[in-house]
Structure 1
């Protein structure tokens, strides 16, 4: 497991869509600094590892994200030097129990139990020199072979170097720390009003990294 997991909300299209569902505009604070939460780094699962259905939810969702992994210890890292601290990139599925998430976040804290049960990473780590143009990466989500989402990483508002600069201000980053980009626009069931069910196979594809595959199983199957 990585020493820490931070997940951002860095795509404007995504926060615009989710804010609209709540009948609200994008908070002006979102444009001032990269916003993130700290996830549960001890419940990370790898590729092809089944996801046991989390108790208490009827709205299980996937989230299509790119993640970067920190490769060097650093603190107070300026944006112009931040790329030198990235060891590589992988695919991230920030699974969410939407009904639980929205209930707990109505108290203006979290997310917590709505996301703590699992985050998937994989299938491998690709070094920065293996990706010619990060912004050109196409991000695709399929459920049972049917395409549900497609986006482009280049639509991101807050870059990984900007995230690194922000987080490292007065705080030390360590090798293995994971930064999730947040969901690409249209990259989750919440935005399209479709949710997962037991038995579904979720595939997130970002080439040249590959395909991150997860099957959702019932709680009894998952132990």
Structure 2
């Protein structure tokens, strides 16, 4: 089943998507449905499907839910290899990458919908996309087992981790981040597909073998399989929950796929000549098999003054 959050005539609603369009689920949100558990959510969706539908072209699709947190992992070896060369000039994959599925926290209130415009971050000249799939948890967990983690996976959506590569490269010289290079926008959408819908794609090793593709202005830039992740999603959940608490509705990104899942990978592998950084007017479209398509246009961002440099202080320990 496909759950969506949408705007129609100024009203934000939750709904379930069919071939006819989106059927309203009044009095609830998609996050509420996720927290209620998959069986309850599916029952509510079945009931909503008996009602009328709005055509999808009559609504604005918003991010499917407002998650408590968004963790973004880096699980594709090919992506690490190319981007590392692009960002810090060092080739290869660090040995530490193989030891654990590293992630960072991104901005849960900077999410944008499947067809929303995305502004270039202030001061960036090297704007990039990142093609990912995100899993959504359907239960609270703490230090879960792999079996508990698998049972808690409510569903999946497409994620575009928009990235200002020049800002990212600068801030990571301080050995912290990414931060401002990543927090301007993250696309989630077009809806949340329940986990049962994608079981048909699970391979013998437990990975979801979904085709992933990204185009810029209609030109194919990247294509990969989600099953090329270094860890399956339940192992990401286990690592994220080690010694801490996860909440129903938390989003966990797969990290960017390889083979052109972002421009920086190609820059690191082939040099800066092509493809160029994203420009105002470019249209980025991502399609993941079994989930759907998101399509965003790049627009001009704010022209802000430069950030002031740090004031070098005396390090005095007493007031003068």
TM-score of the pair, normalised by structure 1:
0.95
Give SS of 1:104's match. Answer: helix
- Structure 1 residue 35 displacement after superposition: 0.1
In the alignment, what sits opposite 1:63?
130
Q: Quick one: distance in 2 between partners of 1:208 and 1:160?
A: 16
Tell which has more relative contact order, 1 or 2 (C-alpha 8 A, sep 6+): 1
Question: Where do residues 33-182 of structure 1 align in structure 2 (5 Å cutoff)?
Answer: 33-131=100-198, 132-134=200-202, 135-182=208-255
| Uncovered stretches (5+) of structure 1, i.e. residues with no partner | none
CA contact (8 A) 2:82 2:91 kept: no
In the alignment, what sits opposite 2:307?
none
Give SS of 2:278's match. Answer: coil
Give SS of 1:106's match. Answer: helix
Q: Quick one: distance in 2 between partners of 1:67 and 1:75?
A: 20
In the alignment, what sits opposite 1:217?
299
Give SS of 1:163's match. Answer: helix
Give SS of 1:81's match. Answer: helix
In the alignment, what sits opposite 1:24?
91
In the alignment, what sits opposite 1:12?
77
1:79-128 Cα shifts (integer Å, max 9, x gaps) = 13211111100000000000000000011000010011110000011111
Q: What is the number of residues matched between the two proteins?
A: 220
- Structure 1 residue 219 displacement after superposition: 2.0
Structure 1 residue 199 corresponds to structure 2 residue 274: no
Q: Quick one: distance in 2 between partners of 1:75 and 1:166?
A: 10
Structure number with bigger Rg: 2
Of 20-29 and 47-56, deviating more is 20-29
In the alignment, what sits opposite 2:33?
none
